[in-house]
Amino acid sequence: MKDALKKKGMFVKKLSNQGELFRKRWENEFASVLSSLQKKEIYMNEFLWHAFSYEKLPCLQGEQAIQAFEKQIKNDCYLLFEHDERVLQLSKCKHLTTRRSASDEEAQRRPGKPSLTAVS
């Protein structure tokens, strides 16, 4: 994935052993209004996005969400992984998009080759 991001013109820095810290920061930023019980009931310990998929927090969906993401100015951002301690710090992200390129589609068809897909 790191190479795919670099090919898209981004600077990528791997932050080792930072996953838990960044997931906690995400949780504090987006889900601090949820009680511990609410978080437990929606299995948020398994996937942070459950706060939205269980409709506990408001969010955009479908094409509306994609359009809002595409309109965002993306200079620097962090890419988190569930159940992984890796965090990627991305710079020069203005070309970060939800749409797949032809090379992403080709990589998807090759077994064992990860591809960059929708990242938000």
For the whole model, what pTM was predicted? 0.72
pLDDT in tens, the chain (120 residues): 788 888 888 999 999 999 999 999 999 999 999 999 999 999 999 999 999 999 999 999 999 999 999 999 888 999 988 889 999 999 998 878 887 654 554 444 444 433 333 333
Phi, psi values for residue 108, rounded to 5°: -65, -30
- Locate all alpha helices (DSSP H) within the chain, ordered by sequence: 2-7, 19-30, 36-41, 50-53, 62-71, 102-109
